[in-house]
Amino acid sequence: MEDYHKPDQQTLQALKDTANRLRISSIKATTAAGSGHPTSCCSAAEIMSVLFFHTMRYKVQDPRNASNDRFVLSKGHAAPILYSVWAEAGFLQEAELLNLRKIDSVLEGHPVPRQAFTDVATGSLGQGLGAACGMAYTGKFFDRASYRVYCLLGDGELSEGSVWEAMAFAGFYKLDNLVAIFDVNRLGQSDPAPLQHHVEIYQKRCEAFGWHAIIVDGHSVEELCKAFGQAKHQPTAIIAKTFKGKGISGVEDKESWHGKPLPKNMAEQVIQEIDDKIQNKKKLSPALPEEDAPVVNIRNIKMPSPPTYKVGEKWATRKAYGVALAKLGHANDRVIALDGDTKNSTFSELFKKEHPSRYIECYIAEQNMVSIAVGCATRDRTVAFASTFATFFTRAFDQIRMAAISESNINLCGSHCGVSIGEDGPSQMGLEDLCMFRAVPSATVFYPSDAVATEKAVEIAANTKGICFIRTSRPENPVIYNNNEDFHIGQAKVVLKSKDDQVTVIGAGVTLHEALAAAEQLRKEKIFIRVIDPFTIKPLDKKTILENARATKGRIITVEDHYHEGGIGEAVCAAVVGEPGITVNRLAVSHVPRSGKSAELLKMFGIDKDAIVQAVKVAASKSRNAE
């Protein structure tokens, strides 16, 4: 960035006038809506004016242009001022601002990507900076382009640990194309923020995290212009001392006004007072970007060759994931991998070994890792795969939930699922992950049962919109599919079948192999079962399950290395509910487990081959008795 040149008086006045127009628009919109956060908007008016009409470079009529500077409003409740900016710039009609929060308007209460100028949904506080870090990392290391990333945070959300995970990430990777602006307006929702106006403490914290930190008067357009013009070889934090409700007489810096629109009469009077300060109605135009972001194509990514496994060979699906991802990396140079310091357990290290420049180590900060993935995937710049133990994604559930609201296309792989991991004990066992990901509206949940299925899941996930979750296991199990086996989302596989089958058993991962072992044992006693591998738990192949259940007198047994709640059993029950003559018996982990050997734990929780044998015999005898 060139050295700072002080803007002339005319420009400075135009920026002040713009800030006041943004205040007026935010007040009008929230008063018309009867709800919203005008005071949170007013504290940021000068920041937004200088950012969008002096500092940032972007094409107004092409908000998602790959070369544009990026902006993330982490304090998402200040959405009306973001909308006001885009109306001021000419992308939105001024009249549309008065439809704020209406069911037929795109201008929702918090930013969402239905708006062309919004890359990530915000409003769950503390998440914007992580996404901004992902965008900045992509700009610096993958696109190698000149666009910069700006993120506006409120001081209230600086109590969120996820903010400091992102601060640490940006500091470590020296993301000098990233600027965070702290709108330190002193007041939170129900109380003052803990540090109030002690801006020097924020500065020390930022510096400790490896940032260049500048304290400014957040209502001085000249100080803001100067601060934004400083370029360093590290990320920049602009700590702006502001006042909540700035410009609203009787409300400025007063408590109990958070999230309250001004009553109509009061709004009219305040708007008049602010309007009187505006000297010129002339609008400023933003500078255009340098168009140096490369053209990227992430569609239809195919594995360079089929799988090369042998039936009967033993492979852990977690290792097959690493092999598959490394292979996929050769198909498209926009495939990237992220991990949280578990790469030698999830086997994402195999990707790192072959594609070191496209691997992002996020360290032990899973919430931030998900946000980084979301940021990297914005504007279709990358195909991101993030991995850790399945259980550690539970701490990032809010980030995953917000990723769905952000219409993000990210792929998450959770290894070490269930009690089958053995001796490490319950803190490391993913037993809630299926439940969690099934609850996410845009999620596809893959649960591959062998190495071939895992490789296909990785390839399919790379080409599937929404959140993809791949559940992988620690134990080594035999390969059961041929390398040319075809897999599809929502299509189950009937892996064992005969005309004499009495019960349909549905298992996945380790429990599918337990079911096959149970079938072998039962066959010796002339009891035959049908075994189904669902492949995806969401969507579930209802048609295949029902067809096979009907062929086995309506009897289904589900067996899973997961808690009862929200897992395969409940998914199957939901699929067959209301179907006459169908009964489902669910075998699952019934309470908090403990350390032990894998086989001992499968036995203890009644999800091993012996438990399946027993359940099948009970089901078969019940029907004989009924007959």
pLDDT in tens, 472-508: 999 999 999 999 999 999 999 999 999 999 999 999 9
How many Cβ atoms from other residues are within 10 Å of residue 271's Cβ? Answer: 19
Which amino acid is residue 338, in one-letter code? L
The Cα 586–Cα 600 span in angstroms is 20
The Cα 600–Cα 582 span in angstroms is 32
Q: Considering only CA atoms, which of 148, 213, 204 is closest in space to residue 175?
A: 148
pLDDT band at 44 (very low <50, low <70, confident <90, very high): very high
pLDDT for residue 1: 42
Q: With the CA atoms of 351, 355, 356 and 359 taken in that order, what torsion angle do they form, in degrees rounded to the nearest 10? A: -60
Is 627 exposed, middle or buried, given 0-12, 13-18 or 19+ CB atoms closer than 10 A?
exposed
Q: What is the mean pLDDT of residues 226-232?
A: 93
3 has pLDDT over 90 = no
- Provide the angle, in degrees to the nearest 10, between the axes of the packed helices 366-377 and 128-137: 60
Render 232-289 in DSSP notation, one character per residue.
-SS-EEEEEE--TTTT-TTTTT-SS-TT-PPPHHHHHHHHHHHHTT----PPP-PBPP
Is 437 exposed, middle or buried, given 0-12, 13-18 or 19+ CB atoms closer than 10 A?
buried
Q: With contact defined as beta carbons under 8 Å apart, do 544 and 532 qualify?
A: yes
pLDDT band at 221 (very low <50, low <70, confident <90, very high): very high
Q: Are strands 493-496 and 529-533 parallel, antiparallel or unpaired?
A: antiparallel
pLDDT for residue 553: 97
The Cα 130–Cα 162 span in angstroms is 8
* 28-38 pLDDT tens trace: 999 999 999 99
Residue 82 is encoded by which pair of tokens?
A: 């973001």
Residue 389: strand pairing partners = 415
Place of tokens 């019960």: 503
The Cα 475–Cα 510 span in angstroms is 7
103 has pLDDT over 70 = yes
92 has pLDDT over 90 = yes
The three-state secondary structure class of 162 is: helix
pLDDT band at 62 (very low <50, low <70, confident <90, very high): very high
* 384-412 pLDDT tens trace: 999 999 999 999 999 999 999 999 999 99
- Give residues with Cβ within 8 angstroms of 39, minimum separation 6: 185, 187, 244, 245, 248, 251, 257, 258, 260
How many Cβ atoms from other residues are within 10 Å of residue 10's Cβ? Answer: 11
pLDDT for residue 535: 98
The Cα 379–Cα 510 span in angstroms is 38
Q: What is the mean pLDDT of residues 560-585?
A: 98
Q: What is the mean pLDDT of residues 56-66?
A: 98
* 575-614 pLDDT tens trace: 999 999 999 999 999 999 999 999 999 999 999 999 999 9
2 has pLDDT over 60 = no
Q: With contact defined as beta carbons under 8 Å apart, do 340 and 370 qualify?
A: no
The Cα 5–Cα 199 span in angstroms is 26
Place of tokens 């909308």: 83
Query: Which own/partner contact pairs does 189-195 have at CB distance under 8 Å and 24+ positions apart?
Result: 189/156, 189/258, 189/259, 190/258, 191/255, 192/255, 193/155, 193/156, 193/158, 193/159, 194/159, 195/155, 195/158
Phi and psi of 586, rounded to 5°?
-105, 125
264 has pLDDT over 50 = yes
Residue 150: strand pairing partners = 71, 179
The three-state secondary structure class of 12 is: helix
Residue 398 is encoded by which pair of tokens?
A: 């809010």
Render 456-525 in DSSP notation, one character per residue.
HHHHHHHT--SEEEEE--SSEEE--S-TT----TT--EEEE--TT--EEEEE-THHHHHHHHHHHHHHTT
pLDDT for residue 5: 82
Residue 337: strand pairing partners = 359, 385
How many Cβ atoms from other residues are within 10 Å of residue 555's Cβ? Answer: 25
This prediction's pTM: 0.98
Q: With contact defined as beta carbons under 8 Å apart, do 126 and 154 qualify?
A: no
511 has pLDDT over 90 = yes
pLDDT, mean over the chain? 97
The radius of gyration of the chain's CA atoms, rounded to the nearest angstrom, is 28
The three-state secondary structure class of 225 is: helix
pLDDT band at 625 (very low <50, low <70, confident <90, very high): low
- Provide the angle, in degrees to the nearest 10, between the axes of the packed helices 221-228 and 9-33: 100
Distance from the Cα of residue 577 to its chain's centroid: 31
Q: What is the mean pLDDT of residues 270-295?
A: 97
pLDDT for residue 623: 61
624 has pLDDT over 70 = no
236 has pLDDT over 60 = yes
The Cα 131–Cα 119 span in angstroms is 9
Q: Kindly list the catalytic residues.
A: 366
The Cα 326–Cα 341 span in angstroms is 17
Q: With the CA atoms of 455, 516, 389 and 489 taken in that order, what torsion angle do they form, in degrees rounded to the nearest 10? A: 40
